[in-house]
Structure 1
Amino acid sequence: MAWVMFGEDRNETQKLLELSGLSRGQLGYITQAHEFLNDTVCWGRHPDSKDLEEMLSVHVPRFKSMATQSYYEPLTRDLEAFIALAEQGLSRERWVVMHRIVHDIDYFLLGRRGFNPDNWEASLAVEKLK
């Protein structure tokens, strides 16, 4: 079961829920992917084959399902970009971009504060809703 810590900016979260047609549980998958990538590529870490296996077996299928169900084109494009990068395999540089996509959505649209507030400008959905 997905969980999400919707925080301070509930208006942005509500907009994303309404525009995308996705559930809070589905949006929680973005938070889970963000946390996974925090542990995988932040602070100088590098993804390994075990990380790739988890990415391809857990996170990518969730994002594929969300991309086909989302009514909000900017979010769909973010999810598709994330999937395409993940499917290219292990590359710290690509995984950093993936992290930036989910970081921006998690922080600015899901309102999950308490970590780095940088806007990496990696998410189309954030650009459109802010």
Structure 2
Amino acid sequence: MKGLARYWGYLAFVILVTAWWTRSVGPVALLVLSLLVTGFFLFQAPVWCCAMNRDGTLCRNNSAGLLLGCSKRQHKWQKLRMTFVPHAWRQMNRGLWASPREGLTTLGAIVGILSAIVATAISVAGQFAGKA
């Protein structure tokens, strides 16, 4: 059971997609699910580090989430810095699609972020429609 607990975000991702597909829950529940899925993929999903090594290759150590590096202190800061420095986005993008696992994690994070934005917009639009 401990091994399956590491992958809870994939189940949440499937529930999120199903909830959007069937339109069975409200925007607040969609927003909560979206934030959970986004948080999982950005900070907890098991992926490769993919920070740049000194020889120009990608680090293949295990990492937690797309934004955090492996156990090497320099890699943790390098991955986080690549998120905010525009000229490093190309290097970071190279690591986001390094393998099918990283690709699925990247797509999951993108879907989670977009889902959160749309659920927030629906919720805000519903608030304004209720006051009019």
Q: Same fold (TM over 0.5)?
A: no
Give the structure-1-normalised TM-score.
0.39
More strand per residue: 2
TM-score normalised per structure 2: 0.38
The structure that has the greater radius of gyration is 2
